[in-house]
Structure 1
Amino acid sequence: MVQIYTENQELNFYKDIKDGSTLAISGFNLANTPEFLLKKLYENYKLTGHPRDLFIETDALPASVDRALDAVLKEMYETNDFSLIRGLLIPFMGFSPFLQKITLEDKIPVYGWPIGIASYWFREVASGRPGLLTRIGIGTFLDPDQDSGTLNESARKSNMCKITKLNISGSPLLLYEAPKPDVCFVRVSSSDIMGSLSMEDEPIRGTVINIVQAVKARPNPGTVIAQVKLLDNEKQFAPRMVEVPYPLVDIVVRSPREYHWQAPSFEYDPRACFKINPSNITDSILHDLQNSNVPYIQSIIAKRIALELVSMRKKKGNTILLNLGVGIPALVSSILSRAGYSRDIVTVVESGPWGGIALTGGDFGVSMGAFALSTIPDMFSNYEGGIIDVASLGFLQIDSSGNVNPSYIQNKLTGPGGFSVIAQGSPTSLFAGNFTAGKIELQFKDGKLKILKDANTVKFVKKVYKIFFSGNEALKYGKTVKYFTERCVFDLTQKGLCITEVPEGIDIDKDIIEKMEFKPEVSRDIKKMPEIVFGSQEMERRDIETWVTEI
């Protein structure tokens, strides 16, 4: 029978978590993150010293700045007491500064599998399989020939999570293995009188059901602990409302609303959990969601990618299915929506939403006005299987072979996120980023772009610090790869990067090649970057259609 705790009851669910347990936690920033359970777990540890030596596994990042896991890690760091956690398997840490500190300073072993790999792994373990077998990761930092997905030295030494390269039917594949979870913290919206769980107010479905099943799988079925904000003590939910049936649930804990937010910037918005029909998301709402403070350079790149997508849509003659990553790519969905392309170019986000307006920054993963919602593993099937048409993702470094590093240099680390699976699986990858790192000042006047001040940090390097996307693997499988910046566009060819497009006013040698650590090819048929992306005004559909017709 499910044990249900109300807010007024004394909590003692910690007794079901033994020292040395493997704890799985759901979450995507604050969406699906059981913040209250994490808070109470750490409070009990400080009071009693138990449970301790936990190995934590997540499908994404259950944190934002000073919230949830980041708040716990912050106090651990400040007190220099790391006995609670003996290791972490976590796909992303960009919104948890203290997770980054702990990883870079090698306080705890940390492994960084991509979100798609981690979420799929839970489903495989739930099916009683030893791990996940996939081609994703070949030729990247996940490959055992490189780093095996380890993010610091203690992870390399401890070997708690393993990646093994196998040859099956003449093709290399990777087997991902990690400890089976003994207990889990998951977050849902409500529980009924029997203890079944629903997610009607959640902005994503995440990997909740698969994490629960992984815990319950044999041998050694474990304990499922769910955080809810509502308890229905009078009736059972309708079958289609149930995300997790009560026989799979052991403990339900009601949380105060302040620890049950949909996203870091807001507690609850009906648009984020599909309580408003997508067709009723008006232009005024779209305007409210548009970030009016988007830096000029990011706006240029996002607009140029939007044009590329409309061109792809015209060539295909049918709906384009598009993934947008965090950062500059996430800005594209509002550009397309405002220009009336929402039905022609359908955006999907790795957390599960289809359509709508993808939020940016710490709220990334939540979409306003989506028309459908998949679990994270089901969404990643669209990526790994090449079901989507195109992905647009950010970059930190690019090298002469077209390899991409989105997030890892010696003093900066955010983890792979969904990047590796999305980039490797998509048939077309459009990478987006500033040409150099730092403050850049531009002037666009009389149809010409002028660089008034350039940044000093080179992003186009001889060799990336860590490979998250392999240019050679992309070419092997015939993928289309392009790299978009504010001053040029590159194509990936058999000879490496090739400049195919520059704006009027840019000197290829002075403004581009001299700011790179390698010399790219230059197309004999170099094109002019479209002027409409440099304007401060929004791009109208008629202007976009005119440009597409002329190319």
Structure 2
Amino acid sequence: MQIVTAEEAARHVADGDTVVIGGSGGGHAVPEALIAALEARFLATASPTALTAVHPVGLGDKATLGAHRLRHRGLLRRVVCGTVVDAPGIAQAAAEEEIELFCVPQGSLSQLMRESAGGRPGLLTEVGLGTYVDPREGGGSQGRPSDDPPSRAVELEGRPYVFYPAVHAQVALLRGTTVDAAGNVSMEGEAYFGEMLSMAQLVHNRGGTVVVQVARQAGAGELPPKQVKIPHFLVDLVVLVPDQPTTYLTADSPAYAGQARVEVTSLPPLVAGPRALIARRAAQELRAGAVCNLGSGISTGVALAAAEDGMLDQVVLTNEQGLVGGLPMSGLDAGAAVNFDAMVDQPYQFDLYDGGGLDLAFLSFAEVSGRGDVNISRFGGRIVGVGGFVNISQGAHAVVFSGTLTAGGLETGWDHEAGALRIVREGRSQRFVDTVEQVCFNGVLAHARGQRVVFVTERAVFEVDDEGRLVLVEVAPGIDVERDVAAHVGFDLRRAPTLRVMDRSLFDRSYPA
């Protein structure tokens, strides 16, 4: 192990290298100083070039940090990741076909790091079949066409699978908290473990260079052995960054690292309006004892709604990054939590999800078709990717999708006296369409798997019926089905024989007088 500067570490990346990068979302264990040094070297010397960057989770602050730093023309040849929602420059480079971009399931890519480290041929999985990440449907390609996709369709014992060949990487850019004199690395101050160990093993086993950014150095024998996440012999270079923040937004949070519990005397209220209403209605799907996942967007409000109803302590909340229990954060800090019960390496969390251990998932949508297909990855000219969505939605026993019926300027109000929802101004664009741009959740296959699928909006609730078609089952008080629902979906609207009326109390609470 050698302690070097970030600039010196960046010189170990050569033209054409494959670089695996640890970290998650808004700065959670992201080796920002190493990424910044790589960017600076390229801007100063036009080297290295034609890199392949692999990171299971999106990295960035949705503006200038993280993977966005690697957007410069010529620096990258290809990116394989879960999502680029955090790195707008990468999305733009892909849209302009400057680079190859494959947005594949976060869980599959995380597990692939472990399989690659073990010298196995790759990852064989059913996750993604029937969606846009299915190799027969493009394999998750979002950028310049490629003749070397990162996955292929195979058949084993008569059943189809997605096969991701092992990743052969030359450099790993990782992050920990403390390094001791021998080079052992701990992660006690991090909000995320991810697959740092697997990435280090992967690169070490192929004779590459493992670089770890840490905040501090400890003396020999000072680290408790069971606290070491990356053993010394796997670590080649260490870069000390004493002021590395817990996340981009939060400079120092022992609570995010599980080192302290915080007293939650009061939770922030749900912001009044349709998002609060949707979160409260979605939370009605919770059942005591259920193991749940909360996605991004509107679904993040489900935890607050559950707390209001006294359900938060009766369910097990998890997130795909590896946390179990606690109160999840939102915004740029999403992926972190406080007062959690456990933090496990990300590949193992996805083993739970893929293996059927998830009872209920709360997710958002961008587009929905009459077949119950859902798109979140590419719409309106915007490239987003899927993150953990495909693993979560395919593995859960029941899925609750949340969103407004229309988008773009939608305004609603609640007439307390009449007990009726009013559409003050309709959204400019439909979200329930005849055909989604990209299939991220296959409604027909979900029906075949026996999943319960529910769609919650501010004015209506839909389910996928026994024929694998979307059917209207519930409407808000005061809503005219033809005028306010059927007229704003792009398919023939099926209705349940008896339509239920959404609970009026949800609206009274979500639209204060």
Q: TM-score range by the shorter chain?
A: over 0.9
Equivalent in the alignment of 1:44: 41
**Contact 1:117-1:132 within 8 A present in 2 as well:** yes
Partners of 1:223 and 1:73 in 2: how far apart? 19
The one of 158, 165, 168 equivalent to 1:180 is: 168
Cα distance, 1:339 vs. partner? Answer: 3.6
Contact 2:62 2:85 in 1 (8 A): no
Q: Does 1:267 align with 2:255?
A: no
Deviation, structure 1 residue 291: 6.2
Distance in 2 of aligned mates of 1:410 and 1:440:
17
Question: For 2:478 and 2:160, how far apart are their aligned partners in 1?
Answer: 47
Matching residue of 1:354: 324
Q: Give 2:28's aligned residue.
A: 31
Q: Please give the secondary structure, in 1, of the residue aligned with 2:492.
A: coil
Q: Name the CA distance, whole Å, in 2 between partners of 1:34 and 1:483.
A: 38
Q: 1:413 aligns with which of 354, 366, 383?
A: 383
Provide the rounded CA distance (Å) in 1 between the counterparts of 2:505 and 2:376.
28
Letter of the structure 1 residue corresponding to residue 252 of structure 2: Y
1:321 to 268, 281, 291: 291
Residues 158 and 262 of structure 1, relative CA distance in 2, 3 Å threshold? farther
Is 1:157 the counterpart of 2:146 in the alignment? yes
Q: Secondary structure at the match of 1:121?
A: helix
Aligned partner of 2:278 in structure 1 is: 301
Q: Which residue of 2 aligns with 1:401?
A: 371
> Equivalences for 1:300-449 in 2 at 5 Å?
300-309=277-286, 312-313=287-288, 319-445=289-415, 446=417, 447-449=419-421
In structure 1, the residue matched to 2:439 is 467
Distance 1:295 1:419 in 2: 27
**1:453 is aligned to 2:425:** yes
Secondary structure of 1:200's counterpart equals: coil
User: Which whole-Å CA distance do the structure 1 matches of 2:33 and 2:122 have between them?
Assistant: 30
Shift of 1:351: 1.1
| 1:477-515 Cα shifts (integer Å, max 9, x gaps) | 111111110011101011501111111100111100110
Change (3 A) 1:186 1:138: same
1:14 touches 1:51 (CA, 8 Å); kept in 2? no
Distance 1:295 1:325 in 2: 20
1:235 corresponds to which residue? Answer: 221
Cα offset, 1:53, TM superposition: 1.8
Q: Which amino acid is the alignment partner of residue 276 of structure 1?
A: A
2:155, 2:324 → 1: CA distance? 36
User: What is the alpha-carbon distance in structure 2 between the residues aligned to residue 410 and residue 90 of structure 1?
Assistant: 21
- Partner residue in 2 for 1:190: 178
Kept in 1, the 8 Å contact 2:324–2:340? The answer is yes
Partner of 2:113: 122
Greater Cα offset, 139-148 or 439-448: 439-448
In the alignment, is the contact (CA less than 8 A) between 2:113 and 2:167 conserved in 1?
A: no
**AA matched with 2:319:** V
Measure, in 2, the Cα distance between the counterparts of 1:131 and 1:178.
4
- The separation in 1 between residues aligned to 2:137 and 2:313, in whole angstroms, is 42
The answer for the alignment partner of 2:127 in structure 1 is 136
Offset at residue 101 of structure 1 (A): 1.2
TM superposition shift of 1:306 = 0.9
The answer as to whether partners of 2:104 and 2:139 remain within 8 angstroms in 1 is no
After superposition, the C-alpha distances for 1:83-141 in whole angstroms (9 at most, x for unaligned) are 22111112111122212211211111111111101101101111111221000111100
CA distance in 1, matches of 2:8, 2:140: 36
| Separation of aligned partners in 1, 2:163 and 2:464 | 29
- Which of 14, 19, 27 is the aligned partner of 1:18? 14
Contact 2:59 2:84 in 1 (8 A): no
Aligned length: 508
CA separation in 1, counterparts of 2:230 and 2:272?
43
Partners of 2:192 and 2:308 in 1: how far apart?
Answer: 24
Counterpart in 1 of 2:450?
478
User: Is the CA contact (8 Å cut-off) linking 1:387 and 1:426 kept in structure 2?
Assistant: yes
CA-to-partner distance for each residue in 1:138-169, whole Å, 9 max, x for gaps? Answer: 110011221111112x2x3342x332222212
Residues in 2 aligned to 1:538 and 1:343: alpha-carbon distance in whole angstroms: 26
Q: Is the helix fraction higher in 1 or 2?
A: 1
Tell me the distance in 1 between the aligned counterparts of 2:48 and 2:272.
46
Match of 2:75 in 1: 84
- Deviations, residues 307-357 of structure 1 (Å, cap 9, x unaligned): 111xx33xxxxx111001011111111222344323311111111111222
**Runs (5+) with no aligned partner, structure 1:** 77-81, 314-318, 540-551
* Alpha-carbon separation, structure 1, partners of 2:510 and 2:180: 50
**Of the candidates 503, 507, 511, which is equivalent to residue 530 of structure 1?**
503
In 1, the alpha carbon distance for the partners of 2:423 and 2:7 equals 60
Please point out which of 196, 201, 204 is paired with 1:208: 196
Quote the residue 1:489 is aligned against. Answer: 461
Q: 1:73 deviation in Å?
A: 3.9
Change (3 A) 1:66 1:498: closer
Q: Please, what TM-score do these two structures have when normalized by structure 2?
A: 0.95
Partner residue of 2:481? Answer: 508
Question: Identity across aligned pairs (percent)?
Answer: 29
- Structure 2 residue identity aligned to 1:103: A
Amino acid at match of 1:137: G
Task: Please state how far the C-alpha of 1:525 moved relative to its aligned partner.
Answer: 2.2
Which of 488, 494, 497 is matched with 1:521 structurally?
494
- Does the Cα contact within 8 Å between 1:35 and 1:67 map onto a contact in 2? no
CA displacement at 1:66 relative to structure 2: 3.5
Q: What is the CA–CA distance in structure 2 between the aligned matches of 1:227 and 1:171, rounded to whole Å?
A: 43
For 2:305, what is the secondary structure of its paired residue? helix
- Out of 50, 55, 62, the position equivalent to 1:53 is 50
Question: CA-atom RMSD, angstroms?
Answer: 1.9
Is 1:283 the counterpart of 2:265? The answer is: yes
| Structure 2 CA distance for aligned equivalents of residues 242 and 197 of structure 1 | 6
Cα separation, 1, equivalents of 2:120 and 2:281: 44
Q: Shift of residue 173 of structure 1?
A: 0.9
Q: TM-score, normalised by structure 1?
A: 0.89
- Rounded to whole Å, the distance in 1 between the matches of 2:327 and 2:24 is 17
> In 2, Cα distance between the equivalents of 1:369 and 1:114?
28
The alignment partner of 2:312 has SS state of: coil
